A and B are shown apart, each in its own frame.
Chain A
Amino acid sequence: MNDTDAKNKTLTKRAIILIILIGVIMTLSVIFIIISGRYSSDRKTATIYVDGSVYMTIDLLSSDDTIIEVTNSKGNINHIQIKDHNIRMLDSDCKNGLCVSQGWADNSLVPIVCLPNNVVIITGSKITENGGNEYDAISY
């Protein structure tokens, strides 16, 4: 009897430790999401990556409204639209179309990613030599 009680106590303790760990992950994630939402307004450049390398960098402040057609190495086609100094995935021939439903880039800090076609749009605040984004270094 006492043995089972002691065992249950240990297990409850272990569960509480794990629940605290989950709580910490949850809190950090929510804090990060809130903070990233605040810094989302000053997007000035957009870099389009195709098959993992820089396809082109666009200065959103000076660019006119246009539609860019991007073809990856497998021949998949994505259309990227620039309008009112904002950028979005207009359409994609990928199956799930999640990149299109992500909408305009200024809605969040999250890059627009089309995983099936390997097309990524990252917006940043300044143009740098490696193609304009907020990361210190990107290696390929």
Chain B
Amino acid sequence: MTRSHTNTKRLAVLGLFAALAFGIYALESLIPNPIPIPGIKLGLANIISLIVLKKYGLRDSSLVLTVRLLLSALLFGSLMSLLYSAVGGFLCIFGEYLINRFLHGKFLPVTAILGAILHNAGQIAVAMIITGTPGVIIYAPYLAVAGIITGLLTGLLAVMVLKLIPGELFS
């Protein structure tokens, strides 16, 4: 009885987070990009990935990420943009999982920064393969700097949001 109750709650909360991640992603795509380098963006949806990763683990955060990627590809993007965001997103979440374990769930912004760097590295790798242009790697330093700044921002926001969410939501 209790077990099925927790499972139902878990499913509901994860669904909520998936919807939130998608909503944040959709809102962010409305903000014009001030920096004319492809691949640079705030990545605010990573806040949700971080929270779910910290509270539920790799499996559930991968699920939430998959839902968000599929929804956004269906509504906004193309198969190509799905490939970019999927490779970046999963590289990011696996990296964040390992680093978060290494740090025992503490120093979340550090995890977020390294995750953002990995996300951008994944996108560059896909760009190199798809365009067949190794020169795209020249973007790497720009994307690394961008990842450090946006990762720090999303990491700090994730910490703040976690403080605001009542603990019984995850119990």
Contacts from A to B (Cβ < 8 Å)? 7, 11, 14-15, 18-19, 21-22, 25-26, 28-30, 32-33, 36, 49, 51-53, 96, 98-99, 101-103, 109-111, 113, 115-116, 118, 120, 122, 133, 135, 138, 140
- List CB contacts (< 8 Å) of B92-139 with chain A: 99, 102-104, 106-107, 110, 113-114, 117, 127, 130-136, 138-139
B135 & A116 in contact (Cβ 8 Å cutoff): no
A18 & B144 in contact (Cβ 8 Å cutoff): no
- The stretch from B14-22, B32-40, B43-51, B157-165 touching chain A is B32-40
- Cα separation A5 to B33 with both chains bound (whole Å): 45
Enumerate chain B residues within 8 angstroms of A109, measured Cβ to Cβ: 138
Enumerate chain A residues within 8 angstroms of B33, measured Cβ to Cβ: 96, 98
Enumerate chain A residues within 8 angstroms of B141, measured Cβ to Cβ: 28-30, 32-33, 36
Partner of B131, one of A7, A52, A102, A110: A52
Interface residues on B, range: 20 to 34
B133 & A111 in contact (Cβ 8 Å cutoff): yes
Enumerate chain A residues within 8 angstroms of B138, measured Cβ to Cβ: 36, 109-111
A33 & B127 in contact (Cβ 8 Å cutoff): no
A113 & B131 in contact (Cβ 8 Å cutoff): yes
- Please give me the residue from chain A that is nearest to B80 by CB atom: A116
Among A49, A52, A99, A115: residue with most chain B CB under 10 A: A115
- Cα separation A135 to B106 with both chains bound (whole Å): 43
Cβ-based interface call for B142 (8 A): yes
Q: List 23 A-B contacts (CB under 8 A).
A: A11-B107, A14-B102, A15-B110, A18-B103, A18-B110, A22-B110, A22-B114, A22-B148, A33-B141, A36-B141, A49-B132, A52-B131, A96-B38, A111-B138, A113-B38, A113-B139, A115-B80, A115-B127, A115-B130, A120-B133, A120-B135, A120-B136, A138-B133
B145 & A135 in contact (Cβ 8 Å cutoff): no
CB distance from A56 to the nearest CB of B (A): 15
B134 & A138 in contact (Cβ 8 Å cutoff): yes
Partner of B127, one of A11, A19, A113: A113
B131 & A11 in contact (Cβ 8 Å cutoff): no
CB distance from B32 to the nearest CB of A (A): 10
B131 & A49 in contact (Cβ 8 Å cutoff): yes
- Please give me the residue from chain A that is nearest to B144 by CB atom: A29
Enumerate chain A residues within 8 angstroms of B145, measured Cβ to Cβ: 26, 29-30, 33
A25 & B148 in contact (Cβ 8 Å cutoff): yes
- Please give me the residue from chain B that is nearest to A26 by CB atom: B148
Partner of B36, one of A33, A102, A140: A102
B135 & A18 in contact (Cβ 8 Å cutoff): no
Partner of A33, one of B38, B110, B142: B142
- Cα separation A110 to B39 with both chains bound (whole Å): 14
Partner of B132, one of A19, A133, A140: A140
